[in-house]
Chain A
């Protein structure tokens, strides 16, 4: 009887250990398989045109076989940069205030808000953008500059993205600032530095790599965000001339055209290539940001 129990225990153990190894290999292979799958699927279009012709041409008309990604790359770049310019200072200022000045009660309240904001799905932000931001841009802001705009524009996309990125960045920034030892701050204050000097010269300098990493992760989130941006950004394949012009970022391109791609030759390859470009950029970006975080933790 005792022997039988020990045999079943051993069997269960080896079975579960092999399942663990299986899960491990799934995870290790996942990025490779995603990359490889996207490469294989985008091969047809890569064979037909050179990569530089695809990346830097502005001509986009799939029906005539012209696949130039330049307007989409620029659109992604603009909308991401604009959103980070809005969200980064707001998050950083709020993070400093909440960790250094605010009372514990405030902190808890704001944590709840961050939680709710971060949990709201992007499609909800998209609906909100269509109801609030599009009219704001089209009927109110654009006329101030004497520009005619439908409201579905770069600025609306960037604002939606900024709202979505703020809780994400704020969360990470608060973690970074909280991880800095209090003794450092106390030492600086004991030397006669003012509170604000301490924040500027001790806190921000010490947390620099963590702060840069958090903002970097915010950028890559903005770069890959699809639905909310797609709903408000206008989706015209052009290089936007000003912030009230429509743009067409890469994720929106993929999402918008999946339905019809199977009927046009090379179209699906081109969209898979778009996904591949996004995948490569974001993997590199995230890898760098996460390395910075690991480095910051070691210090």
Chain B
């Protein structure tokens, strides 16, 4: 009997150590990733990288920077987020205000959004390319924005949906009793309740949009110039990293590391803003 007890204790101790080890491994990995990115990127970093577009011979190690990719990324991610809000926000408000009685539809929509969330960006990229050839667009800012928007609609919608699920049930009835129309309830009452969660979801989607490579690989095109219209091709940061790293020239590869540092910095900044803003904005909420 005693023997079994000690056996159990030893088993628990072993697993405890294994579990601690697992947590430590995860922490070590993030430290390792960030250290490598900062050290390698820091060495190749310069003001030129973020203030100038590529000059002649840039891809052979010449002068210039990747301002084109930074601006392109911001345009693509910004445009995609706007487009995704235009589709996702009314959809989710509808789920909570207009179609509440149709629980089957709401459950199915939630399921559909979760499933769409899991579709890999390369599939969206291929579909975006098919769409592009169908409408006879060139690879352009517009094509990239549409493709990335499809990718992030589920992220924005589900994030907002989770927040709105926490809104007290009586709120809808109270607003109806006051004689508000469904639209007024949706945008003036529910949207205001969900504002902090909405901003978190938007920032999350923005981060995903700015970092995704596979979806813009065939749709954005790549150019050394700044895009001036929706029909212009655009460079993005992940593409700049990807293309420069595959160069055989060492100094060009170095610049891919610098671009990686810029992208990682942007992402970490966004996630910090998300944390701070979600804490600040929660103050005036039921």
Contact = CB atoms under 8 A, between A and B. Distances in A.
Interface string B164-183: 00000000000000000111
Given A27-B113, A116-B30, A94 B19 contact: yes
Contacts of B119: 34, 224, 279, 282-283, 286
Interface stretch (B45-53, B58-66, B223-231, B256-264): B256-264
A31 B116 contact: yes
A255 B245 contact: no
B27 A96 contact: no
Contact of A90 (B12, B25, B124, B126): B25
Task: Give the interface centre of B12, B120, B268 by most chain A CB atoms within 10 Å.
Answer: B120
A93 B213 contact: no
A128 B16 CA distance: 30
A212 interface: no
Contacts of A258: 129, 217-218
A275 B183 contact: no
A275 B22 contact: no
Interface in A1-58: 9-10, 12-13, 16-17, 19-21, 23-24, 26-28, 30-31, 34, 37-38, 40-41
A20 B120 contact: no
B36 A128 contact: yes
A273 to B, nearest CB: 10
Interface string B245-278: 1000000000011001001100110110001000
Interface in B106-120: 107, 109, 111-116, 118-120
B26 A166 contact: yes
Interface in B160-214: 181-184, 186-187, 204, 207, 210-214
Given A221-B118, A290-B114, A123 B181 contact: no
A158 B22 CA distance: 17
A217 interface: yes
A140 interface: no
B90 interface: yes
B18 interface: yes
A131 B40 contact: yes
A275 B127 contact: yes
B23 interface: yes
Interface residues of A, number: 85
A98 interface: yes
Interface string B9-21: 0011001101111
A221 B207 CA distance: 18
B108 to A, nearest CB: 9
A170 B267 contact: no
Contact of A16 (B186, B217, B257): B186
B241 A226 contact: no
B125 to A, nearest CB: 8
A225 interface: yes
A275 B260 contact: no
B242 A272 contact: no
Interface in A78-111: 89-91, 93-94, 96-98, 101-102, 110
B150 interface: yes
B281 interface: no
What is the interface of chain A mostly: helix, strand, loop, or mixed?
Answer: helix
A239 interface: no
Task: Give the interface centre of A121, A122, A163, A167 by most chain B CB atoms within 10 Å.
Answer: A121
Given A97-B22, A119-B267, A286-B115, A124 B260 contact: yes
A293 B217 CA distance: 33
Contact of B238 (A97, A196, A227): A227
Given A94-B22, A272-B130, A287-B115, A122 B183 contact: no
B98 interface: yes
A122 B122 contact: no
A9 B179 CA distance: 11
A117 B210 CA distance: 16
B120 A196 contact: no
B242 A227 contact: yes
A23 B91 contact: yes
B140 interface: no
Contacts of B182: 13, 16-17
A193 B152 CA distance: 46
Interface in A271-291: 271-272, 275, 278-279, 282-283, 285-287, 290-291
Contact of A28 (B112, B150, B157, B207): B112
Contacts of A123: 211, 213, 238, 241-242, 260, 263
Task: Give the interface centre of B40, B87, B131, B256 by most chain A CB atoms within 10 Å.
Answer: B87
Given A94-B22, A127-B245, A127-B257, A27 B112 contact: yes
A231 B245 contact: yes
A294 B116 contact: no
14 contacts: A17-B182, A20-B90, A31-B115, A31-B116, A38-B130, A40-B130, A123-B242, A127-B241, A128-B37, A194-B12, A271-B126, A275-B127, A279-B119, A286-B114
Given A17-B183, A170-B26, A251-B120, 15 more contacts: A9-B184, A23-B94, A27-B153, A41-B130, A89-B22, A97-B23, A119-B268, A119-B270, A163-B33, A195-B12, A254-B126, A255-B214, A283-B119, A286-B119, A290-B114
